[in-house]
C-alpha cells in the first residue's frame, strides 16, 4: 500500500520494476555530493527530487556571479554566501520530506575519512585534482563507491568507481584512468571555458548513476567511462578494465596553498617587497595583464631558481586555481619557498579596483 509520503514520487513509481520497495531503498539511502557548483547543483537537485533520504552537500566556496550561468541553484542575491549552506536550504524547501546536511568545510586528508563515513555513496562534483584524488583514495580505503564527473569546454565524462563486481573485486577507480595529472598545466572552467548546458547534462548523468546503484537497476558505468561531446551530441564509452590495478594504501597529505589577498599584493607592490609572476598562456596575457614576470605553467620547472629565491613571489592566473596548483607543486619540492597564489586571480583583482 503506497503511503501519502510517496505521493510526490508516483510518476517514477509507475516505472516497470520501480515500486514502493524501490522507493524505500532511495528513502533509506545516504548520499554525499562533494562540490555544489556546475555539476553538484543539478546532481543534488535531482537526487533530492527523487527522494534520497539523506543528502549531504559538501563545499567550502562562496557563490560568485561568474558561476551563475551554470550553477543553477543560486541567484545574484546569493553572491558571497556559502554554497553548501545555500544549496542545502534550497533543496530542503524543494523536498521537505528528506534530510539535507550542509558540510561547509575544506576537505583535507585529515577530515575526508570522517566526512564520507556516514554515507553509502559519494558523488565527485569537484573542480580540482587534489580533492578528486583525495576523495577517490578515501572511498577505496573505505570500500565505498564514488560517482565521477568532469567537464571542460564542450566535453564531459562520467563513471562510477570502486563498485564490487560479481567476483567481489573492486572495479577500477580514478587512478586507473589517470595515475597522475599535472594540474598546473590544465586550465579550469573559469580559464578554459565551459558551455553551461554541459554541466547540467553531466550532473544529471551522475545523479542517474547514483539512482541506478541505490535501486540496483540498470547497467552501471563501472570499469567504463562515458565521454560526451556537447558540440556533436555524440557519446562513446571507453572500457578501463574489469578490476582495479591500483594499490592504494593511504592518503596523500593535503598541502595548504599559501595565498595573498588583492589588498596584500597591492600593498606589497607599492612597498616593492614582492614580485608578480603571470603563469597564464601567451594568448591570455596578450588580452590583459597586471604586470610582472611571465612564464607559462609548464615553464615553471625551468625557472625554479628564480621562484624560490629573492623577494617573495606572487603567482597569478585568471581565477587563482592554476596559479595555486603551481604554488602547490613548488611547495612540495621546496617547502621553505616564499611563494604565494593571488587569491581569486585576476577576476578578484578587477572586482576590487
- The domain spanning residue 270 has which CATH number? 3.40.250.10
pLDDT at 269 over 80: yes
Is 273 found in the same domain as 181? no
Is 145 found in the same domain as 20? yes
252 occurs within a structural domain: no
Please write the tens of the pLDDT for every residue from 306-323.
Answer: 999 999 999 999 888 889
246 occurs within a structural domain: no
Please write the tens of the pLDDT for every residue from 289-311.
Answer: 899 999 998 888 889 899 999 99
Is 74 found in the same domain as 202? yes
Among 177, 208, 239, where does a domain finish?
A: 239
Among 180, 204, 239, where does a domain finish?
A: 239
Do the beta carbons of residue 212 and residue 13 sit within 8 Å? no
Cβ neighbours, 10 Å, residue 192:
12
183 occurs within a structural domain: yes
Is 194 found in the same domain as 121? yes
Please write the tens of the pLDDT for every residue from 142-163.
Answer: 999 999 999 988 999 999 999 9
* Among 17, 311, 323, 51, residue whose Cα is nearest residue 190: 323
Is 218 found in the same domain as 277? no
Is 74 found in the same domain as 24? yes
User: How confident is residue 191, by pLDDT bands cut at 50, 70 and 90?
Assistant: low
189 catalytic? Reply is yes
254 occurs within a structural domain: no
110 occurs within a structural domain: yes
Is 277 found in the same domain as 180? no
CATH number at residue 213: 3.40.50.720
Please write the tens of the pLDDT for every residue from 42-56.
Answer: 999 999 999 999 999
- Residue 2: the pLDDT is 42
Task: Tally the domains of the chain.
Answer: 2
23 occurs within a structural domain: yes
For residues 133 and 135, give the distance between their C-alpha atoms in angstroms, rounded to a whole number: 6
- Residue 278: the pLDDT is 95
Is 177 found in the same domain as 296? no
Q: What domain range includes position 101?
A: 4-239
For residues 87 and 203, give the distance between their C-alpha atoms in angstroms, rounded to a whole number: 15
pLDDT at 1 over 50: no
Is 272 found in the same domain as 235? no
Which residues lie across from 148 on neighbouring strands?
124, 159
Contacts 24+ apart (CB under 8 A), 94-98: 94/45, 94/48, 94/49, 95/8, 95/48, 95/49, 95/51, 97/5, 97/8, 97/51, 98/27, 98/48, 98/51, 98/52, 98/53, 98/54, 98/55
62 occurs within a structural domain: yes
Is 211 found in the same domain as 124? yes
Interaxial angle between packed helices 83-94 and 40-50, expressed in degrees from 0 to 180 and rounded to the nearest 10: 30
Is 268 found in the same domain as 193? no
Among 206, 239, 272, where does a domain finish?
A: 239
**E-strand stretches of the chain:** 30-34, 54-58, 99-103, 121-124, 146-152, 155-161, 224-229, 234-239, 259-260, 275-278, 293-294, 313-316, 339-342
Within 8 A by CB and 6+ apart from 320, the residues are 259, 341, 342, 343, 344, 345, 347, 348
Please write the tens of the pLDDT for every residue from 214-248.
Answer: 999 999 999 999 999 999 999 999 999 889 999 99
Amino acid at each position: 500500500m503506497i503511503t501519502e509520503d510517496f505521493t510526490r514520487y508516483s510518476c517514477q513509481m509507475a516505472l516497470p520494476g520501480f515500486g514502493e520497495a524501490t522507493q524505500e531503498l532511495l528513502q533509506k539511502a545516504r548520499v554525499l555530493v562533494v562540490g555544489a557548483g556546475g555539476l553538484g547543483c543539478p546532481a543534488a537537485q535531482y537526487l533530492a527530487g527523487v527522494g534520497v533520504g539523506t543528502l549531504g552537500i559538501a563545499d567550502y566556496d562562496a557563490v560568485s556571479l561568474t558561476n551563475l550561468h551554470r550553477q543553477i541553484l543560486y541567484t545574484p542575491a546569493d553572491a558571497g554566501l556559502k554554497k553548501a549552506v545555500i544549496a542545502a536550504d534550497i533543496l530542503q524547501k524543494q523536498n521537505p520530506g528528506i534530510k539535507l546536511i550542509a558540510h561547509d568545510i575544506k576537505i583535507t586528508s585529515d577530515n575526508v575519512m570522517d566526512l564520507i563515513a556516514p554515507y553509502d555513496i559519494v558523488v565527485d562534483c569537484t573542480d580540482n585534482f587534489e580533492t578528486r584524488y583525495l576523495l577517490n583514495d578515501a572511498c577505496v580505503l573505505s570500500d565505498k563507491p564514488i560517482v565521477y564527473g568532469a567537464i571542460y569546454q564542450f566535453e564531459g565524462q562520467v563513471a562510477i568507481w570502486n563498485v564490487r563486481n560479481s567476483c567481489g573485486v573492486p572495479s577500477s577507480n580514478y587512478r586507473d584512468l589517470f595515475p597522475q595529472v599535472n594540474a598546473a598545466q590544465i586550465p579550469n572552467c573559469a580559464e578554459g571555458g565551459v558551455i553551461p548546458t554541459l554541466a547540467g547534462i553531466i550532473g544529471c548523468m551522475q545523479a542517474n548513476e547514483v539512482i541506478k546503484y541505490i535501486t540496483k537497476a540498470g547497467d552501471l558505468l563501472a570499469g567504463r567511462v562515458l565521454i560526451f561531446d556537447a558540440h556533436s551530441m555524440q557519446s562513446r564509452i571507453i572500457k578501463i578494465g574489469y578490476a582495479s590495478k591500483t594499490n592504494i594504501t593511504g592518503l596523500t597529505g593535503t598541502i595548504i596553498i599559501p595565498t595573498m589577498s588583492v589588498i596584500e599584493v597591492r600593498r606589497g607592490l607599492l612597498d616593492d617587497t614582492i614580485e608578480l609572476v603571470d603563469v597564464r598562456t601567451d594568448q591570455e596575457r596578450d588580452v590583459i595583464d597586471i604586470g610582472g614576470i611571465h612564464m607559462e605553467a609548464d615553464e615553471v620547472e625551468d625557472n625554479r631558481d628564480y621562484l624560490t629565491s629573492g623577494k617573495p613571489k606572487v603567482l597569478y592566473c585568471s581565477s587563482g586555481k592554476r596559479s595555486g596548483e603551481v604554488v602547490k607543486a613548488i611547495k612540495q619540492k621546496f617547502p621553505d619557498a616564499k611563494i604565494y597564489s593571488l587569491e581569486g586571480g585576476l577576476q578578484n583583482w578587477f572586482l576590487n579596483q
